[in-house]
Amino acid sequence: MKLRLGVLGADDSLEIIESVTREFSELECLKIVYWKEEDIVDLLEPHVHDADMWLFSGKVPYSLVKAWGKVKVPMAYVPHMGASLYRTLLYLSHQQNIRVQDVSFDTFSVDELDLFLQEAGIEGGHRWLKHYDGVITAGELADYHEQLWKEGKTRAAVTCLRTADLELRERGVPVHRVLPTRSGVQAVIHMLLRTNEMLHFKDTQIAVQMMEIDPFRELAGGTFATDDWQNAEIKTMEKLLRYAKHLHGSLKTAGPGRYAIFTTRGILQNATTGFTTMPDLEEGFGIEADAVTCGIGIGKTANEAEIHAGTALLHAKERGAANWMVFFDDKSIVGPLGSSEQLSYSSVSARLQKLGEQTSLSVLTLSKLDSILRKRKTMEINAHELAQSMQILPRSARRILMELESKGLAKVVGEESPNPRGRPRKVYRITW
């Protein structure tokens, strides 16, 4: 079965890209031409799920789609640096007798254009460059180039954007479009294919879902015969077997009230919406959500994944019943799933290990704090906020902050009084 490559871009670039894709027998090409940047998302939306990978003819369409955020498969754009730009400058120099200093450029960063000119042996450097991050309009680029040309500072414009090229031509400004080279397109397609292979490998990694469920909740409050207890456990197993079948996985018991489901990363990733939500166990399988505490482990082998799932379960239990956490093969931890306060932190960090040696705090505690600060986008926090984020007691949070203060890794920078009758809360600034 062929891979579907979606290609979106300007008409002239797509001709080159499409001719290159014919060299890849494993690819099937879906081509979308745009003429205005504001139409890109509308053109792409009906086909967003029709491709395994997306290739864009330049930085602007790529940035627009990336900001849109609806494409979840590998994406890339064809760079205009390298042979593409060299071909354009060679034409200007030998056919038009125009020096680099008399040309206005866009898209490239100062550093990459400087390096390119240096490596190409072009002396004197450039004078006029409009660099932009993300999205820019054709009108804005055209205004930049036209102004310099009208003032006599330049003799020509070099643009990477097709719509700016058309706009400048309409205004009568001498303009030269940097088009992708076949070798550049080939390199990007090879990169996309390698990325797809890597993601396919990750999808087939082993995933283990370790669940703790009390199968006897419905029997609480009375005295029951042994058969009643066995029937309750059998009912739980039947529900879990249906759930395991849904995941194309296998089920095994891992201790009293503990069950492990073995499946693949890709399947579990889909079931949890990219490891962000908990699946609806109650609606689909009759398993009460608040009765399940779960750890998900990813590993290269079943044994590694099971160990990681057990570790993730411990982290979930630390946060209380009915929480779900994920432990990945790179030792990063994510969770709780379904929470607006979901954190992502690492259990292994050289920097935090060094800090851990200076304090009585574990690397895991420091990693959680680091993740909370990054999520809050501030280095200031009080004990109440830390306790809420970590789901620990306020006194435990105060102990963490006081320990950091005592080791010179935090300092008190103020006080807050949310309640007139309560004692003020110290605000700490973490200084590591």
Provide block-wise average pLDDT over 10 residues at a time, the chain (432 residues): 92 91 92 92 94 91 90 87 84 90 92 85 88 85 96 95 94 93 87 81 85 68 60 83 92 84 91 92 89 92 86 88 91 88 73 81 83 84 88 88 92 81 84 86
CATH classification (class only), 3-77+187-198: alpha beta
CATH topology match: 3-77+187-198 vs 83-179: yes
Separation of alpha carbons 430 and 407, rounded Å? 11
- What token pair was written down for 110? 């100062």
Q: At what angle do helices 182-203 and 11-21 cross, to 10 degrees?
A: 60
Question: What is the reported pLDDT for 427?
Answer: 93
Identify the CATH number of the domain defined by range 204-344: 3.30.70.270
Beta carbons of 256 and 209 less than 8 angstroms apart: no
Q: Strands 410-416 and 425-430, how do they pair?
A: antiparallel
Separation of alpha carbons 59 and 174, rounded Å? 23
Question: What's the CATH fold of domain 350-430?
Answer: Arc Repressor Mutant, subunit A (1.10.10)
Read out DSSP for 203-257? HTSEEEEEEEE-TTGGGTTS---HHHHHHHHHHHHHHHHHHHHHTT-EEEE-STT
CA angle 182, 166, 71 (to 5 degrees): 60
Query: Domain residues of the chain, as ranges?
Result: 3-77+187-198, 83-179, 204-344, 350-430
Q: How many CB atoms lie within 10 A of CB 422?
A: 8
Beginning with the edge strand found earlier in the chain, give each strand of the sheet holding 380-382 in spatial order. 380-382, 425-430, 410-416
Q: How many CB atoms lie within 10 A of CB 189?
A: 22
Identify the CATH number of the domain defined by range 83-179: 3.40.50.10660
Question: What is the reported pLDDT for 118?
Answer: 85
Q: What are the φ/ψ torsions at residue 344 (nearest 5 degrees)? A: -135, 120
Question: Hey, what amino acid is at 63?
Answer: S
Question: What is the reported pLDDT for 271?
Answer: 93
pTM: 0.52
Question: What is the reported pLDDT for 87?
Answer: 85
